[in-house]
Amino acid sequence: MTREYGKVTPEIVAELRGAAGARNVVTDDKDTMENYSYDEAGQLFGHMPDVVIRVDNTEQVSAVMKIASKYKIPVTPRGAGSGLAGSAVPVHGGIVLSLEKMNRILEIDPVNRVAVVEPGVVTNELCKAVAEKGFLYAGYPMSTETSFIGGNVATNAGGGKVIRYGSTRRHVMGLEVVLASGTVRNMGGTIRTATWGDHRGQRRAGSDGTLGIMTKIIVNLEPKPGKVVNLLTAFGTLDEAVDCVAKVIRSGVPIISCEILDRLSTAITCRYLNTSLPYQDKAAAYLIIQIEGDTDERLEDSYEKVGKILMDGGALEVFVAESRTESAAIWNVRQNLAEGARNYDPYASLSGDLVVPLSVVPEMVAESQAAAKRRGIEMGLLGHIADGNLHPIIFKPKDMEPHHWAEFAEEYFEELVGVAVRLGGVGSGEHGVGFVKMPIFLGTKSDEELAILRGIKASFDPDNIMNPGKVLGDF
Ligand SMILES: Cc1cc2nc3c(=O)[nH]c(=O)nc-3n(C[C@H](O)[C@H](O)[C@H](O)COP(=O)(O)OP(=O)(O)OC[C@H]3O[C@@H](n4cnc5c(N)ncnc54)[C@H](O)[C@@H]3O)c2cc1C
């Protein structure tokens, strides 16, 4: 069922200007508005908003929501727009409510081990600020230098440290949320256990902005790890790299990260960065492994143990990063894979986000490759492999029309989601559902599950104005 939403009239724009300040409300600057019409899923998935509002504070968010609720105008919350599932795209037009100006770190509380932040804080800025006080914020999506904490919570972002610390939901201690009605709700804070309900607001994590707008987030801080070392391991075959992962994880060595990059994704990213990795001419795949240890001796024992497992598993070579510069160079390749892919092909589709149990990762990889081959498309593979979270990237054949490609790419991913589900996994590990993945998501849920989810949504947002057309769609 598609709802009838209100139209944004000049009178409503005047009310919105009164609520959020005239300078924060954009309606007639097409170039600016276009920047808010798409995310990293690509411009092919874009939709123009009627209004963009860049709010300064919770009061403005609440005032905007009261107006939106009165006139039934759709509202799409937006963080940095780095999402890969079209979650921040205003598919029904209306208001894009950007949290980019709410970007202050309000408090770092060393006793309760929490930080209180506004949603527009860039993830890496929080990481740096708490590191100066001896803490670790353990969220680490590969978009850490661009994405915002609010977007990370809304998508339950994963990333390079999930195997050790879990995904963003685990780091949420409390929230301030503005509901569709404009009501401001606070939940959680600094207590770490309770049997009374969702005391930390963690159920909001992963709701893709469909249950309210987070205006303050209280996150858990971990003690900063003592010493870490990064290993780069080159393999002659992808299968050998994949096979080593479970052995490394069960070795008992404290692993913080374990990432995989195949030949194609490495080549295009190194070309984009004008750099290279050792053994690049022979390597079919690399594992990047980060290990923790409290003393130099323990760290050395650990990486020797892991190094032996890798060499026994067929590695061509294991390189231990000797300095921060070497470590940064390795991670730079991993963090720039999306840019490398887009540089290679502006239509590269990055929306693959499959998760399967570690035991069936080899099958998932093989089926992803076989499906790409059947369709005659080039595929690169990367991912947070220790979590069983794989991101196949596919590239548009030169002779295919772009509008046909979006559909073609989603059909490919739909097939892979079917494989992931058959293997005991799911079709989105960390990027959210948005509207790009919505048909696949709906297709894998039972009627009972959907009825429960729709009931929750309706209780917070009876008119479905909060990011409509996402996750559960229009109902
Ligand atoms: C190069 C690259 C690497 C990436 N690596 C990873 C990775 O390793 N792991 C991973 O999980 N993702 C990754 N992503 C995807 C993306 O960065 C994450 O989904 C990120 O969490 C999105 O944050 P954002 O601030 O850009 O949110 P946006 O894209 O702006 O929005 C995402 C969703 O959050 C909602 N939202 C944003 N702010 C709020 C708020 N304050 N209140 C309520 N809802 C809100 C939006 O409505 C939307 O539904 C990567 C993307 C790129 C481009």
Ligand 1 atom index nearest CA of 77: 47
364, 419 Cβ separation under 8 angstroms: yes
CA angle (358, 364, 365) in 5-degree steps? 100
**Is residue 226 very low, low, confident or very high in pLDDT (cuts 50, 70, 90)?**
confident
Name which residue sits closest to atom 16 of ligand 1, judged by CA: 83
Give the DSSP letter of residue 434.
T
With 90 as the cut, is the pLDDT of residue 194 above it? no
With 80 as the cut, is the pLDDT of residue 1 above it? no
Average pLDDT value for residue range 79-101: 97
Tokens of 47: 């939709």
| Per-residue confidence (pLDDT) for residue 2, from 0 to 100 | 67
Would you list the domain boundaries of the chain?
Answer: 105-223, 227-339, 345-443
Do the two domains 227-339 and 345-443 of this chain adopt the same fold? yes
Ligand 1 atom index nearest CA of 337: 1
Best probe residue, ligand 1, of 45, 62, 75, 82 (max atoms within 8 Å of C-beta) = 82
182, 66 Cβ separation under 8 angstroms: yes
Beta-carbon count within 10 A of 171 CB: 26
Alpha helices in 260-323 (DSSP H): 263-273, 296-312
| Per-residue confidence (pLDDT) for residue 168, from 0 to 100 | 97
94, 53 Cβ separation under 8 angstroms: no
Ligand 1 atom index nearest CA of 434: 49
Please compute Rg for the chain using Cα positions. 22
- CATH of range 227-339; options 3.30.70.2190, 3.40.1280.10, 3.40.250.10, 1.20.840.10: 3.30.70.2190
List residues bridging with 26 in a β-sheet.
Answer: 52
Name which residue sits closest to atom 21 of ligand 1, judged by CA: 152
d(CA 138, CA 131): 11
Tokens of 457: 């949504």
Average pLDDT value for residue range 371-386: 96
CA neighbor of 424 nearest in space, from 353, 352, 362, 355: 355
Tell which wins on pLDDT, 227 or 199. 227
With 90 as the cut, is the pLDDT of residue 166 above it? yes
Average pLDDT value for residue range 297-309: 96
Tell which wins on pLDDT, 199 or 354. 354
> Domain 105-223, what fold?
3.30.465
Average pLDDT value for residue range 289-318: 96
| Per-residue confidence (pLDDT) for residue 339, from 0 to 100 | 95
d(CA 35, CA 49): 10
**pLDDT tens digits for range 71-84:** 999 999 999 999 99
Q: For residue 7, report the distance from its CA to the centre of ligand 1, in Å.
A: 28
Q: State the average pLDDT for the chain.
A: 95
**Is residue 388 very low, low, confident or very high in pLDDT (cuts 50, 70, 90)?**
very high
Tokens of 412: 């490919």
Best probe residue, ligand 1, of 37, 143, 438, 471 (max atoms within 8 Å of C-beta) = 143
| Class of the domain covering 345-443 | alpha beta
With 90 as the cut, is the pLDDT of residue 7 above it? yes
Q: Residue 134: which residues within 8 A CB-CB, separation 6 or more?
A: 110, 223, 224
Q: Which residues line ligand 1 (CB under 6 A)?
A: 39-40, 76-84, 87-88, 99, 119, 141-143, 147-148, 150-152, 154-155, 157-159, 208-209, 213-214, 338, 430-432, 467
| Per-residue confidence (pLDDT) for residue 191, from 0 to 100 | 87
Torsion region of 233: left, alpha or beta (phi above 0 gives left; psi -120 to 50 gives alpha): beta
Asked which of 91-95, 124-128, 331-335, 400-404 is least confident by mean pLDDT, the reply is 400-404
Q: For residue 141, report the distance from its CA to the centre of ligand 1, in Å.
A: 9
